[in-house]
Structure 1
């Protein structure tokens, strides 16, 4: 059962927390952390049952990612990013799933989807070249999803642009080892990957627009509601879940540290109404973020399962709320971090790592509020959205 995954995560929680500082120094997840995640089954939650997965409700996936991130933000982030890739692979030509999981259901797929490469059409497929930053968890993955612009045969993208998602085996790309030197989420190992003229057969590609609207699953005979959800609802889900989980972990640690702390005034913090007010308000804000995020993905899942169409306005509402969930949770974390005392800035205090990880997570492009809020306001007015505002809807 999918809920057993969360129970196993909680069982492993103290060990995940113990390993977190080492992952940060290592610049990627340790083999021991990855072993715990594999045993828990977090990254198989959205994987098809035929290939050893759970094909779970996306709500269960979000809750599992949050559970991991409460103990180690970097591990939660990798679960949220890498964990959504089985969902997309399941929508593609059936040969893809067989190649990826046929011999090993524990195989991980990395990304990113940013269209940083040019895919030149050739007989039977494409030839791809480019460089992509931010490939989270890539050291432990044997395949990678990449975004690519279809080329015009001369090294330039066609006009208007056409974006593909392509999937490549580990032998077709290079990981750049010294490309991840950052201030937060250090343990994610989100290094650059480079592709230099790799051939990609057509069946390992999918049009981004078809994934965005759920058409890819239908055209490949995949009927489950899970695999017909909009990409722009599912992909942000894992990332925002990780940020919320990080904030939940920070709140728990803050309260633990404040229980016996005595302020410079000689007053025990647990007797300071101002600090406790801030902690209570932060707890409410972080809890609201969790509820709203899960409510959004549950609503869209129910619509798709009922055979109904998810409108642009509804997709825009989900994106607006998803962005706000992340900002609300991190803003709440800021309030308690500022009241945690001087020792919070010491590198040996895990709370400062939670704070850095949360802010780096907030910097991901899916958390940029401007376009999401702009598009949502127009959609609520019934105004047709221009192409540039539909990109992440």
Structure 2
């Protein structure tokens, strides 16, 4: 069953492109699922997966068409990430983060975008927008130093988006920003030792006195208010709101993980009995039927929240109108609720399948670990999102976080 909710201005041509990309992702599921255990065990997405994803165009969703990219929309990113996530959570997360970071790069000046893509249209971007580095003003730009984690996708990237503070500009819109730096000028520290999303290899990027030209700096406060450096204002994708886009993108893999768990339940329940009962098929047991109904409904609810936010986000971009604070607060709330509902759907499936869900040979345990980790990303924090949204409903704005 499909969930139709979409931005009203989305064209039939755009929907056709989206459907084709989702079909490409679905065609890769056997490969990605077959490598999922290896991805988890080796703590990295295999090059085979990355090559297949790139070959299908699924790592070019947010690259500007000027450089041969597909320049789609956020609903498309969600649907592709969901389909990849049905096969492998880590592969979906890396797909999402490489695309999201590519979108960040598309907000920079034309010269910065040329630095990234003019010489290599296939260049991929990873990064961390948390301002855990500093940028010192020097002639022609900045000297950037710091360490940034978790840098999902950095093993497969050519450039990095890095969050920085500028001590010289503290208290101004240029006090916090993101910069673009070549991966070749950074080092990667192997720090990603985790139980969930192990395969994302979200290691730490380290930079020491990396020179960044002035045109590769983007003000975060300006971006939050919808003032981007890109001069290509007719390109709809790069008019989307900064924080809602960053948060919403992360829900795609989790929609896929929830769908994968329900797929497993639907496949296994008819062939297994319910322990310590007279049911020879779990599918005949009301307890399992109710769990399946609740899990499937929660997965649908996660999609509905995510797709509503995507519709609001894409529609605003298509209309060339930057959403106001209250609208952006609801989008962030939708992203948080999508994560919660997807996570709960997986939990219900694991409970229905019992202790066997956590056997090392059972993919459910990996799905559970991946969604427990991924759904707790800081920008998705549902409690913070709820506080922001709840206050906005009473006209209280800007007291919780600048990231709205």
Q: CA deviation at 1:58?
A: 1.4
Q: Distance in 1 between matches of 2:56 and 2:224?
A: 29
**1:31 and 2:61 aligned:** no
Map 1:306-345 onto structure 2 (within 5 A).
Answer: 306-345=319-358
**1:198 and 2:214 aligned:** no
Q: Distance in 2 between matches of 1:356 and 1:230?
A: 30
Q: CA deviation at 1:77?
A: 0.6
CA contact (8 A) 2:24 2:56 kept: yes
**Equivalent in 112, 116, 136 of residue 120 of structure 1:** 136
Q: Distance in 2 between matches of 1:385 and 1:99?
A: 35
Q: CA deviation at 1:254?
A: 2.1
Assess, with a 3 A threshold, how the Cα gap between structure 1 residues 15 and 309 changes in structure 2: closer, same or farther: closer
**1:82 and 2:93 aligned:** no
**1:187 and 2:203 aligned:** no
Matching residue of 2:84? 68
CA contact (8 A) 1:28 1:137 kept: no
CA contact (8 A) 2:248 2:309 kept: no
**1:224 and 2:243 aligned:** no
CA contact (8 A) 1:185 1:356 kept: yes
Q: CA deviation at 1:162?
A: 1.7
**1:208 and 2:226 aligned:** no
Map 1:240-389 onto structure 2 (within 5 A).
Answer: 240-264=251-275, 265-267=277-279, 268-386=281-399, 389=400
**Equivalent in 150, 164, 167 of residue 148 of structure 1:** 164
Deviations 1:140-160 (A, max 9, x none): 1111111001124xxxx8356
RMSD: 1.6
Matching residue of 2:153? 137
Deviations 1:161-190 (A, max 9, x none): 82110010022110013x111101011000
Matching residue of 2:187? 174
Please give the secondary structure, in 2, of the residue aligned with 1:391. Answer: coil
Please give the secondary structure, in 2, of the residue aligned with 1:175. Answer: strand
Q: Distance in 1 between matches of 2:44 and 2:180?
A: 22
Please give the secondary structure, in 1, of the residue aligned with 2:353. Answer: coil
CA contact (8 A) 2:75 2:314 kept: no
CA contact (8 A) 1:80 1:237 kept: no
Aligned positions, number: 385
Q: CA deviation at 1:110?
A: 0.7
Please give the secondary structure, in 1, of the residue aligned with 2:352. Answer: coil
User: How does the TM-score come out when normalised to structure 2?
Assistant: 0.92
Q: CA deviation at 1:106?
A: 2.3
CA contact (8 A) 2:239 2:320 kept: no
Q: Distance in 2 between matches of 1:92 and 1:307?
A: 18
Matching residue of 1:235? 246
Matching residue of 2:14? none
User: How does the TM-score come out when normalised to structure 1?
Assistant: 0.94
Q: CA deviation at 1:67?
A: 0.6
Q: CA deviation at 1:116?
A: 0.7
Deviations 1:172-211 (A, max 9, x none): 110013x111101011000011001111001111001222
Assess, with a 3 A threshold, how the Cα gap between structure 1 residues 236 and 222 changes in structure 2: closer, same or farther: same
Gaps of 5+ in 1: none
Gaps of 5+ in 2: 1-16
CA contact (8 A) 1:81 1:235 kept: no
**Equivalent in 73, 78, 83 of residue 57 of structure 1:** 73
Please give the secondary structure, in 2, of the residue aligned with 1:120. Answer: strand
Q: CA deviation at 1:53?
A: 1.0
Matching residue of 2:113? 97
Runs of 4 or more above 4 Å deviation:
none
CA contact (8 A) 1:79 1:238 kept: no
CA contact (8 A) 2:325 2:397 kept: no
Q: CA deviation at 1:212?
A: 2.1
